[in-house]
Amino acid sequence: MTSEISSDLDGLGPARVETVVIGAGQAGLATGYHLARRGREFVILDAGERVGDNWRCHWDSLRLYSPAGTGALPGMRFPAPPMSYPTKDEMADFLETYASTFELPVRTGVRVTQLCREDGKYVVTTDASSFACDNVVVASGPFGRTPYVPAFAGELDPGIAQMHSSAYKNPAQLRPGGVLVVGASHSGGDIAFEAGTAGHPTVLSGRVNGEVPFDIHGKPARVIFPILFFLAKHLMTLRTPLGRKMRPKVRAHGGPLIRAKRADLARVGVEMVPARMVGVSDGLPALDGGRVLKVANVVWCTGFRQDFSWIDLPVTDEDGWPLEMRGVVPSSGAVLRRAGVPVRLRVNARRWYRQGRGLRRQSPVRTPAGRPARGGRAGHSLMVC
Ligand SMILES: Cc1cc2nc3c(=O)[nH]c(=O)nc-3n(C[C@H](O)[C@H](O)[C@H](O)COP(=O)(O)OP(=O)(O)OC[C@H]3O[C@@H](n4cnc5c(N)ncnc54)[C@H](O)[C@@H]3O)c2cc1C
């Protein structure tokens, strides 16, 4: 999909566009939907070759942990029974269909390398071209997509195959022999289960942060999940003391086991050890307490980290998370907004626009019906979703 906006490949400088949305995941596409409905001029940039590649890249057997009924985007339900669990490729195809159905101007294969402010405009530099704009929506992912691996990983014996969960596809990548899975959250649980099922002696290291106390594929889930999602939306928000208290924990720790749980792991012979891997001893992984494991594989299920180093604006706190309250961060005269992030105030894009606090308008824009589009004020805004 392409947009009509010219690039700077002609050498005339950055292309001018009212709004650049960075990222064509759920957040970026939903933002695009609302911008398109209001006849606003925008382009969505995504580093992936195809919309949905951020889901296609996961391991082969991954199914969503959340039911299809919760996966709707504005204007389109997920095309599957509400209590089914789509595969990662079905999720990817849904996003691609969404972008094409609403003719969203997505440019794929374009990685944004820098965002800065120059001469009263935002300048978005990509590996292909650059854009000057009044508004930027950063929708590059909630937990960051930069794999986190501890520094001592480099000390492991080269004979040990090691990979981050983002590079893991299936057990065929593993060398014959034992597997250490580091990190006992959803991905660690699932990958350890798969390795154990494939016959590898497997150790899952790390403290389990609880487990969902029902079978997500069973009948109780039909009743319990809607309640949990309601609580997540209304209780785990910055509006409540509980939500504010939980946020650091949610950000710093993995979630509970959801699909493969302790009993499933035990059934396929996975040894669960609460001790964390804390270093390397003679090339082998060493756990807290001194136990050294002679394994042939290490899979790092240690999560991702935020990397906003490409944003040349003071938008993050000392932990690297964007500063925000009610999704807004006053910063460099800009407004930073976040959506799609665990434990935050929900941003209702529709209401936000109605209140006239939406993205700032560069020039009068008309709706497809020819009426002047409403909302917006003179100025600039930067949102991070
Ligand atoms: C293994 C795994 C399983 C998950 N399962 C579930 C689940 O079952 N249910 C659920 O609700 N959530 C799940 N999540 C979380 C889910 O992926 C995110 O909540 C969701 O994708 C957030 O959408 P987003 O649009 O904010 O970001 P993303 O989906 O991460 O999209 C960000 C997009 O930005 C692009 N991008 C990033 N940086 C740049 C750049 N510099 N230039 C250009 N483009 C860029 C990326 O290519 C990507 O397409 C899972 C995550 C993982 C890792």
pLDDT, tens only, 52-77: 999 999 999 999 999 999 899 999 99
| Top mutation candidate among 108, 115, 126, 145 for ligand 1, by most atoms within 8 Å of CB | 145
**CA 120 – ligand 1 centroid, Å:** 30
Q: Tens of pLDDT along 22-39?
A: 999 999 999 999 999 999
Please report which confidence band the pLDDT of residue 297 belongs to, taking 50, 70 and 90 as the band edges: very high
Q: Does residue 64 line the site of ligand 1, with CB under 6 A? A: yes
The pLDDT-based confidence of 141 (bands split at 50, 70, 90) is confident
User: Does position 363 have pLDDT exceeding 70, yes or no?
Assistant: no
- Whose C-alpha lies nearest to ligand 1, atom 5? 64
Average confidence (pLDDT) over 350-369: 41
**Residue 334 reports pLDDT greater than 50:** no
Nearest CA to ligand 1 atom 15: 142
23 lines ligand 1 (CB under 6 A): yes
| pLDDT at residue 372 in the model | 35
Domains of the chain: 2-144+306-384 (3.50.50.60), 147-212+256-304 (3.50.50.60)
Going by pLDDT thresholds of 50, 70 and 90, the confidence category of residue 342 is very low
Please identify, by atom number, the ligand 1 atom nearest to the C-alpha of residue 64.
Answer: 8
Place of tokens 């951020």: 54
Is the minimum distance from the CB of 28 to ligand 1 under 6 angstroms? yes
- pLDDT computed for residue 144 by the predictor: 59
Smallest Cα–Cα separation from 132: which of 146, 117, 149?
Answer: 117
So what's the pLDDT on residue 335? Answer: 43
Please choose, from the candidates 380, 384, 385, the residue with its C-alpha nearest in 3D space to the C-alpha of residue 132: 380
Per the CB < 8 A criterion, the answer to whether 147 and 304 are in contact is: yes
Question: Which of 99-108, 288-297, 328-337, 366-375 is the least confident region?
Answer: 366-375
Mutational pocket test of ligand 1: of 20, 26, 136, the residue with most ligand atoms within 8 Å of the beta carbon: 26
Q: Is the CB of 188 under 6 A from ligand 1?
A: no
> Contact 73/34 with Cβ under 8 angstroms?
no
Confidence at residue 333, expressed as pLDDT on a 0 to 100 scale: 43
CB atoms inside a 10 Å sphere around CB 111? 14
Residue 48 forms beta bridges with which residues?
A: none
Highest mean pLDDT out of 80-89, 207-216, 253-262, 331-340: 80-89
Residue 18 main-chain phi, psi, to 5 deg: -65, -50
Distance, CA 141 to ligand 1 centroid (Å)? Answer: 5
pLDDT of residue 85: 96
Q: Give the tens place of pLDDT for each residue, 62-115.
A: 999 999 998 999 999 999 999 999 999 999 999 999 999 999 999 999 999 999
Q: Is 140 in the pocket of ligand 1 (CB under 6 A)?
A: yes
pLDDT tens per residue, range 157-208: 999 999 999 999 999 999 999 999 999 999 999 999 999 999 999 999 999 9
**Residue 315, both tokens:** 């938008």
For 233-254, the pLDDT digits (tens) are 777 777 788 777 777 766 666 6
- Cα–Cα distance, 13 to 212 (Å, whole number): 53
Report residue 344 as tokens. Answer: 């935050």
Residue 5 has pLDDT above 80, yes or no: no
Does residue 368 register a pLDDT over 80? no
What's this model's pTM, rounded to 2 decimal places? 0.84
Residue 238 has what pLDDT?
72
In the chain, the percentage of residues whose pLDDT exceeds 70 is 77
Q: Which atom of ligand 1 is nearest to the CA of 70?
A: 11
What is the structure's pLDDT at 74?
A: 96
- Note the pLDDT tens digit of each residue in 261-281: 999 999 999 999 999 999 999
Asked if residue 32 has its Cβ within 6 Å of ligand 1, the reply is no
47 lines ligand 1 (CB under 6 A): yes
293 in Cβ contact with 287 (< 8 Å): yes
Mean pLDDT value of segment 307-326? 73
Query: Helix 26-37 and helix 88-101: axis angle, to 10°?
Result: 20
Question: Cα 264 from chain centroid?
Answer: 27
Whether 303 lines ligand 1, by a CB cut-off of 6 Å, is no
Nearest CA-CA partner of 268 in 179, 329, 150, 182: 179
| C-alpha span between 227 and 23 (Å, rounded) | 30
What's the per-residue H, E or C state across the chain? Answer: CCCCCCCHHHCCCCEEEEEEEECCCHHHHHHHHHHHHCCCCEEEECCCCCCCHHHHCCCCCCECCCCHHHCCECCECCCCCCCCCCEHHHHHHHHHHHHHHCCCCEECCCCEEEEEEECCEEEEEECCCEEEEEEEEECCCCCCCEECCCHHHHHCCCCCEEEECCCCCCHHHCCCCCEEEECCCHHHHHHHHHHHHCCCCEEEECCCCCECCCCCCCCHHHHHHHHHHHHHHHCCCCCCHHHHHHHHHHHHCCCCECCCCHHHHHHCCCEEECCCEEEEECCEEEECCCCECCCCEEEECCCEECCCCCECCCCECCCCCECCECCEEEECCEEECCCCCCCCCCCCHHHHHHCCCCCCCCCCCECCCCCECCCCCCCCEEEEC
Instruction: Look at residues 139, 61, 146 and name the one whose alpha carbon lies nearest to residue 359.
Output: 139
Euclidean distance between CA atoms 19 and 35, whole angstroms: 9
* pLDDT confidence of residue 306: 78
pLDDT, mean over the chain: 83
* Lowest model confidence (mean pLDDT) among 179-188, 251-260, 341-350: 341-350
54: left (phi over 0), alpha (psi -120 to 50) or beta: alpha
- Tell me if 362 CB under 6 Å of ligand 1: no
CB distance 48 to ligand 1 below 6 Å: yes
Cα 139 to middle of ligand 1, angstroms: 9
- The pLDDT, as a whole number, for residue 230 is 82
| Ligand 1 close to Cβ of residue 26 (< 6 A) | yes
Pocket test for ligand 1, best of 45, 46, 94 (most atoms within 8 A of CB): 46
Which residue minimizes the CA distance to atom 26 of ligand 1? Answer: 141
Give CA 348 to chain center in angstroms: 19
Report the residue count for the chain: 385
Ligand 1: distance of its center to the CA of 222 in Å? 25
> Which residue among 140, 187, 341 has the greatest number of ligand 1 atoms within 8 angstroms of its CB, and so is best to mutate?
140
Q: What is the model's pLDDT at position 299?
A: 98
Retrieve residue 146's tokens: 């930069």
d(CA 28, CA 140): 8
Q: 378: CA distance to ligand 1 center in Å?
A: 31
